[in-house]
Amino acid sequence: MKNLGPASKILRMKIIRDKKRKKLWFPQKKYLRIILEKFNMVDAKFVVTPLASHFKLAYKKCPATIEEKE
């Protein structure tokens, strides 16, 4: 076993560290590019669809019965 220092990638994801704020980031830009290429969507236009601020999501409001789920 060798100590190769801090990891820079794991499972094709880059690892970014901020030791001062004690945070890790795993940007997936390369993975997303592979997926877009796979489905021929590299040149597709994107659309922003934010959730309206008046929506309040809660587990209690999730459908419980089969009829509610349908």
SS3 string of 44-66? CCCCCCCCCCCCCCCHHHCCCCH
67 located within any domain: no
* Residues 1, 4: Cα–Cα separation, whole Å: 9
70 located within any domain: no
61 located within any domain: no
Of all helices (H) and strands (E), which one includes residue 34? helix 29-38
Domains: count for the chain: 1
40 located within any domain: yes
49 located within any domain: no
pLDDT digits (tens, 9 = 90+) for 17-55: 998 999 988 888 888 888 899 999 999 888 888 878 888
**Domain residue limits at 14:** 1-44
Of all helices (H) and strands (E), which one includes residue 4? none
Residue matched to tokens 């704020």: 21
- pTM of the entire predicted model: 0.41
Local structure of 35: helix, strand or coil = helix
